Amino acid sequence: MIKKKCNIVFLLIVALLSACDEYPVTSITLDRSSLTMNTGEIYHLECIIQPLSSAYANSVIWKSSDPSVATVNSSGVVTAVYSGECVITASAGNQKAVCQVVVNPLEYSFSFDRAGALFYGDAYEIGSHNFVLRLLGEGLTMDNDGVLSGEGIFVNLDIELPLTDLKLTEGTYNLSTERTEYTFAPGQIYEESGTQYAIGTFVGQRTSEGLRVIFVKSGSFWITFIDEIYRLEGHLVGEKDEDIVLSFQGKIPVIDKTGANLPETITLNPTSVKVDFLGDVYGVGLNVFRHTITHASDTVLQLEYYVPLSITDRVLLGTYLFSSSTPYSLVPASIDNGVFYGAWITDINGHKKIIKGQIIVSRSVEKQVFNCRLIDESGRTISVSYN
């Protein structure tokens, strides 16, 4: 009896193969050539095979080019998994049909009230300070070494700031592949000794199964602060076009990861400001204004500003950086026959050159306001605001 049943099955298989040879597939079509779906949605693709023959009723092979975007089962049921694009292919005989699938980008909105920043100094030796700012969701903590523990969502922002800044400062930060001041780096994978790490800017989710990330490829955010309370608002775009909206409000403690003792920060409170117009004192075709700012009785800050020859009454609004001979810039420090020219600070430590930094000149009501962030040759940061 068993032998007889086996022979019957064999005869059925031969019959089907004979039918396939006699009626080869001439075409295969799908009811849709393209699909736009949201994550989690399902669509059943209908497949029509010519010629119509029961021999091919269950012979279609389904395949997804990227199952991380959308999957398809043996019946043609497509399930949207995550943002992106892929191709669903249905094959029978020597014929195939395809359906282009687009899964719409996901939208995320995160609000945080806890954060911490890691300070790495001029880690990349490019003349800017590197900070890694982490916005922490519920269930996560960061210790004094910057190590995360627990489970939850966090955002990692890899930021560059001027060398004058030893903490996060107000401003607009834009994503850039070049590490320059007031930018943040895109997310990427870094591999060392066979281990992969997520670096740059990304959204992370720590779970018992490990770390999942959405790398950020574009966007910007804004930071303001009042009385040590920071506020951050941002709009980022993930590598698969995820729309990510950020908000944060709270304190941001900074952890020094440089392993070195940071130079002190000097905050000056001017008791007097003397302004002298020196004309084209350096013979470079630019007029010079000298400001002498006195703090208490033992500290004096001297600054000189280059302006065009047509300007004789004031320093104009703008951002002033150090330059040897360009308008709207600061005059570098020099000394000639015991006379100090350019930018200097004099205090109980003697005369020190100001070597880096910037001064932003703005207007408040009827007064000009000079906000200074400077570094002297001993590495000290000098902060002063005067009008």
pLDDT digit string (tens) for 295-320?
977 899 999 999 999 999 999 999 99
Q: How far is CA 204 from CA 27, 104, 155, 215, 296, in A?
A: 47, 21, 6, 9, 49
- Quick: pLDDT tens for 50-94: 887 655 556 899 999 999 999 999 999 999 999 999 999 999 888
CA distance 62 to 26: 18
Q: State whether 172 and 270 are in the same domain.
A: no
| Beta carbons within 8 Å of 68's beta carbon, 6+ residues apart | 81, 82, 84
Please say if the pLDDT value at position 201 is more than 50.
yes
Place of tokens 């008791």: 271
DSSP state of 263: P
What whole-number percentage of the chain has pLDDT above 70? 91
Predicted pLDDT of residue 163: 86
What is the domain-level CATH number for residue 67? 2.60.40.1080
Go through the chain and tell me how many residues it has.
Answer: 387
Residue, of 339 and 366, whose pLDDT is higher: 339
Q: State whether 121 and 250 are in the same domain.
A: yes
For the entire predicted model, the pTM comes to 0.66
Q: Which domain holds residue 161?
A: 107-256
Predicted pLDDT of residue 366: 81
Q: How far is CA 214 from CA 158, 239, 313, in A?
A: 14, 7, 54
CA distance 247 to 232: 5
Report residue 282: phi and psi, to 5°. -100, 0
Q: State whether 19 and 83 are in the same domain.
A: yes
CA distance 23 to 280: 96
Report residue 11: phi and psi, to 5°. -65, -35
Choosing from 233, 256, 279, the residue where a domain stops is 256
If one counts the domains in the chain, the total is 3
Split at pLDDT 50, 70, 90, the class of 289 is very high
Q: State whether 290 and 185 are in the same domain.
A: no
* Whole-number average pLDDT of the chain: 89
Please say if the pLDDT value at position 15 is more than 80.
no
Report residue 338: phi and psi, to 5°. 80, 5
Split at pLDDT 50, 70, 90, the class of 227 is confident
Sign of the CA dihedral with 10 first, then 15, 16, and 17 last: positive
Please say if the pLDDT value at position 14 is more than 50.
no
Choosing from 256, 290, 312, the residue where a domain stops is 256
Q: State whether 247 and 285 are in the same domain.
A: no
Predicted pLDDT of residue 165: 85
CA distance 356 to 202: 32
Q: State whether 75 and 122 are in the same domain.
A: no
Please say if the pLDDT value at position 233 is more than 70.
yes
Split at pLDDT 50, 70, 90, the class of 272 is very high
Choosing from 76, 103, 130, the residue where a domain stops is 103
- Quick: pLDDT tens for 150-199: 999 999 999 999 888 888 989 999 999 999 999 999 999 998 888 888 99
Split at pLDDT 50, 70, 90, the class of 276 is very high
Helices (H) and strands (E) in the chain, counts: 1, 36
Q: State whether 114 and 251 are in the same domain.
A: yes
ω into 332 cis (within 30 of 0)? no
